[in-house]
Structure 1
Amino acid sequence: MEIPDTLLGTVGNAELADTIFALLSAMLRHRPREMSMTSSSTLSALFTDGPMRVTALAARQGVTQPTMTTLVHSLERDGLVVRRADPADGRASLVKLTESGAELVRARRREYTEIAEGYVRMLADDDRRALADAVPAIRALESLMRGERS
């Protein structure tokens, strides 16, 4: 059910979406540069959702299967992922995060969290409270963007 912009007060749906996009863009400027965005996002997907086929990873990242295959080879070479036989289909393989890959994802998330926390601490108390009140809505939006139903 969509809430009409008039019920949102002074901020409409488009402005909310634009603000979220601007925040995400600003956060991405703080990301470590030693890895491509697609590599980082692929590792994060494997960390969150578990082993996947190359075709599923490619679709999720919005790249071609050959591009994802090349990326997986690179991540394998770096010891961040391994391929294992798919128990559901012996002809296919699953890409699985290694412990090194999982630790890299955890470390990057800690780093992002520390950066964001520093900025949150600079906000006025009322703004921090407003953000805290918005956490359930932000989590619901994230779930929707991941394709989950809330």
Structure 2
Amino acid sequence: MTVDVDRLTTVIEDFNTIFIRLPSVQRFNFSTLSVLHTLGRSGPLRLTDLLSTEQLKQPALTSLVGKLEQDGLIARRPDPTDGRAMLLSLTKEGREIVRSRHANRVAELTRLVDQLTDDERAVLAGSMQVLTRLTEIATEDA
């Protein structure tokens, strides 16, 4: 079976546009949310590791990390494997933002999924496995 990758790309882009804008209690810019979510899933990380996942240059990321630290959302601590390096991790407040946004998205996406037919929900359920596999492949390639 041939996959229309151009159409798939457009569909994913359109869905992402809706998904990232699902209502939330707290509003943050995309870069802030990306850093918080990355640290929530993969942290603690060094700044250099975070650079590889974010679409920011080092000066911009360094500035953003400083602001997030000042706002009490992330903390720095020495890397136990290299005393010269620092590890970034979410604070309790940072974890709460990530948790709250996830819960809000689950609620909003549930409302949308409930409007699908049973057949559409079955296709969507199968799609999760495929999207998970694509994510794994992309991670392995990186």
Normalised to the residue count of structure 2, the TM-score between the two structures is: 0.89
Which amino acid counterpart does residue 119 of structure 2 have in structure 1?
A: D
Give the deviation of 1:60 after TM superposition: 1.3
Q: Secondary structure at the match of 2:110?
A: helix
The reply on whether 1:20 has 2:15 as its aligned counterpart is no
Using the TM superposition, name which of 65-74 and 30-39 deviates more: 30-39
Structure 2: which 5+ residue stretches go unaligned? none
Give the deviation of 1:119 after TM superposition: 0.5
- Aligned counterpart for 1:83 among listed residues 41, 59, 76: 76
CA RMSD across the alignment: 1.7
The reply on whether 1:107 has 2:100 as its aligned counterpart is yes
The reply on whether 1:116 has 2:109 as its aligned counterpart is yes
Alignment of 1:58-97 (within 5 A): 58-97=51-90
Report which structure shows greater RCO (CA 8 Å, sep ≥6).
Answer: 2
Aligned length: 140
**Structure 1 Cα separation of the partners of residues 32 and 136 of structure 2:** 21
Query: CA 1:148 to 1:102, structure 2 compared with 1: closer, same or farther past 3 Å?
Result: farther
What is residue 30 of structure 1 aligned with on the other side? Answer: 22
Rg comparison, structure with higher value: 1
Per-residue CA deviations over 1:11-37 (Å, capped at 9, x if unaligned) read 622212221121111112225462111
- Aligned counterpart for 1:50 among listed residues 23, 36, 43: 43
Q: Is the 8 A contact 2:23 2:108 kept in 1?
A: no
Per-residue CA deviations over 1:88-144 (Å, capped at 9, x if unaligned) read 111111111112111110110111111111111011111111111222112112333
What is residue 4 of structure 1 aligned with on the other side? Answer: none
Structure 1: which 5+ residue stretches go unaligned? 1-6
- Aligned counterpart for 1:135 among listed residues 111, 117, 128: 128
**Structure 1 Cα separation of the partners of residues 104 and 31 of structure 2:** 18
Per-residue CA deviations over 1:33-65 (Å, capped at 9, x if unaligned) read 621111111011111111111122123112111
Percent identical pairs in the alignment equals: 34
Normalised to the residue count of structure 1, the TM-score between the two structures is: 0.85
Segments ≥4 residues shifted beyond 4 Å: none
